[in-house]
Chain A
Amino acid sequence: MNCDEADRFLDAYLDGELEPDKRAELEQHLASCPDCKQKLDRLRQLREFFTASAPHYSAPPELKGKVLARLEVTRRSNLMALVRQPWLYAAALLIVSLVLAWLNFFPNQEEQIANQAVANYERAALLERVCDVVSPDPAVVKPWFAGKLDFSPPVVLPGLNFQMRGGRLDVLNNRKVAAVTYKRDKDLLTVFVWPGAGKPIPEKDWSISGNSVCSWNAKGLNFVCVSNMDDRKMDEVVDRIKEAVTNQVVSNQ
């Protein structure tokens, strides 16, 4: 390496940025060249003087506030720009429409169950095949279910001049359920029961093709009640059934 080459690499050498092979060459040259060695020393002194004496500015105290104010303005105008986008409203409208359409085409699960319960209720009434076991006595109906279901449905008497006609097996939401039927003159009432394990049915009322339907969950069981009575009469009976279920389950424990 000659002096011209060495001169080119002095800065990188001093800055620790020279590749190892070039560094070795340069060091070899420096060892034998007092002129270049002196240049290196002067360069080092300049760096020391520079880092010690060159101005280092701190931000004036008011600058932080100014920056924050500008950022605030930018944030607001970004938001305003967004609010002014017409596509935003189009997108919102589209989403709302889709959600409404979805809800319309795919009713929630409990509503599907309620519809099925009504269909079962009406089919059983039409076929006059309301009961598999015919008896007004829970002591007969309850044991009948025992061998046919994986749970023990409560069989209760609501009073109010209702007479139990009996029980049958039915299918709701792809599972076997217990159905117990009561009659008072022309009022026909069927209570569907199945375990609510993990999927308790919410407490709701519907009016589906002229029938009153209500659902609830109690003591870990789901109940759906269908009847041709009006809401008011229905509520009265359902209250009695709920009460009787609570008492029966408690007395069983």
Chain B
Amino acid sequence: MHWTTGINSDSPESSVQMGPASRFEELFLPHLDAAYNLARWLVSGDQDAQDIVQEAYVRAFKGFAGFRGDNPRAWLLTIVRNTAYTWIKRRSTDEKLIPFDEESHVVPVDPGPSELSHEKRRELLGQALDRLPTEFREVLVLFEFEGWTYKAMADALEVPLGTVMSRLSRARRRLQQELAQFQPGEVDDEL
């Protein structure tokens, strides 16, 4: 139980001036953006991502006594990730999600115009990402944006190193595949 930090009498509104007692906030609030970004990548909706981040901070707070590491950001993100998976699992039993079938999941689309604006390509990337399994999006965001090593991901995700490697590789192949369908003429030149 971590109650020795004392009571922060500040109301959330006056949170800008925090007492020195809130070491937890000092360590973890700077990573709010990263926490939100990861949650948003894993569950895609803004409200859901916000709920997950709040839940993750509460979990982190309760487990703070066990925090021994020197990397609060990685520790927090692992909790965000686990919270998101709990949330997804709960949601999927509620809604009876159709199991993901990789082979049949590539959405066939019209070839479309060969010249696509930058905005349009970003949009297409976003859509392609939405169709990726959560596990694939997870390794992409942790590697490309958070700069985690394969080893760090293997530890946090509790999977073998080889699994991390193949997930990342397959995630990229899938993106290539999907983007190539949208713009067959461009891939060779620009992508």
Which chain A residues have a beta carbon within 8 Å of chain B's beta carbons? Answer: 8, 10-12, 15, 17, 42-43, 45-47, 49-51, 53-60, 63-72, 74-76, 78-79, 81-82
Residues of A within 8 A of B25 (CB): 68, 71
Decide: A66 and B3 in contact? CB cutoff 8 A: no
Decide: A12 and B150 in contact? CB cutoff 8 A: yes
Decide: B168 and A67 in contact? CB cutoff 8 A: no
Closest beta carbon of chain B to A228's beta carbon, Å: 55
A50 to B41, CA, bound (A): 14
Decide: B40 and A72 in contact? CB cutoff 8 A: no
**Closest 10 pairs between A and B when the two form their complex, measured CB to CB:** A59-B36, A11-B169, A69-B12, A68-B12, A57-B40, A68-B15, A57-B37, A65-B12, A53-B122, A59-B32
Decide: A49 and B191 in contact? CB cutoff 8 A: yes
Number of interface residues of B (CB under 8 A): 54
Chain B residue at minimal CB-CB distance from A45: B191
B144 contacts chain A at the CB level, 8 A cutoff: yes
Decide: B7 and A67 in contact? CB cutoff 8 A: no
Decide: B58 and A17 in contact? CB cutoff 8 A: no
Decide: B37 and A66 in contact? CB cutoff 8 A: no
Of A17, A47, A67, the contact of B32 (CB 8 Å cutoff):
A67
A56 to B15, CA, bound (A): 26
Decide: B175 and A67 in contact? CB cutoff 8 A: no
Chain B residue at minimal CB-CB distance from A43: B172
Given contacts A49-B125, A54-B126, A58-B37, 6 further A-B contacts (CB under 8 A): A47-B172, A55-B126, A60-B36, A64-B15, A67-B57, A68-B25
Number of A-B contacts (CB under 8 A): 129
- Selecting from B46-54, B82-90, B92-100, the interface stretch reads B46-54
Chain B, residues 152-176, CB within 8 Å of chain A (1/0): the string is: 0000000000000110110010011
Residues of A within 8 A of B125 (CB): 49-50, 53-54
Of B24, B33, B62, B129, the contact of A54 (CB 8 Å cutoff):
B129
Which chain B residues have a beta carbon within 8 Å of chain A's beta carbons? Answer: 1-3, 7-8, 10-13, 15, 24-25, 29, 32-33, 35-37, 40-41, 46, 49-50, 53-54, 57-58, 61-62, 118, 121-122, 125-126, 129, 140-141, 143-145, 149-150, 165-166, 168-169, 172, 175-176, 179, 187-188, 190-191
Residues of A within 8 A of B179 (CB): 46
A17 to B150, CA, bound (A): 7
Residues of A within 8 A of B188 (CB): 42
Residues of B within 8 A of A79 (CB): 3, 7
Residues of B within 8 A of A82 (CB): 1, 3
A15 to B169, CA, bound (A): 10
Chain B residue at minimal CB-CB distance from A65: B12
Tell whether A58 pairs with B33 under 8 Å between CB atoms, given A10-B169, A12-B165, A46-B176: yes
Chain A residue at minimal CB-CB distance from B188: A42
Of A47, A51, A60, the contact of B46 (CB 8 Å cutoff):
A60
Chain A residue at minimal CB-CB distance from B51: A66
Closest beta carbon of chain A to B159's beta carbon, Å: 15
Residues of B within 8 A of A75 (CB): 3, 7-8, 61
14 example contacts (A-B, Cβ-Cβ < 8 A) are as follows A11-B172, A46-B175, A50-B125, A53-B118, A63-B50, A66-B54, A68-B10, A68-B15, A71-B25, A72-B11, A74-B58, A74-B62, A78-B2, A78-B62
Residues of A within 8 A of B145 (CB): 51, 54, 56
Of A8, A55, A78, the contact of B169 (CB 8 Å cutoff):
A8
